[in-house]
Amino acid sequence: MANRPAAALGLRDGDFEALNRLSRSSAGRAGLAQRARIVLLAAEGLSNTVIAERVGATRTTVIGWRSRYESAGIAGLHDQDR
């Protein structure tokens, strides 16, 4: 049986504008910009595989960031202390 494509990701109120700003942020925050792009593309309904190809990440990475956004919003896209 083929995998079903992921459903479009629902954005929280006000997050569209904030994610757009983050996606255009400077090179010093390239990781955060990529994560914001992942969430925006997921909200458009693109498959995880297509998103991965567009942003230069793995499908597993895309799935992980989608999940982090769903559970913690934009705050979940920021780097965590190690």
Task: Look at residue 81 in the predicted model and tell me its pLDDT.
Answer: 67
Task: Look at residue 6 in the predicted model and tell me its pLDDT.
Answer: 80
Q: What is the average per-residue pLDDT within 64-77?
A: 97
pLDDT digits (tens, 9 = 90+) for 53-70: 999 999 999 999 999 999
pLDDT digits (tens, 9 = 90+) for 21-45: 999 987 668 899 999 999 999 999 9
Q: CA-to-CA distance for 24 and 34, rounded, in angstroms?
A: 9
Listed residue (52, 34, 20) closest to 11, CA to CA? 20
Task: Look at residue 61 in the predicted model and tell me its pLDDT.
Answer: 98
Task: Look at residue 27 in the predicted model and tell me its pLDDT.
Answer: 66
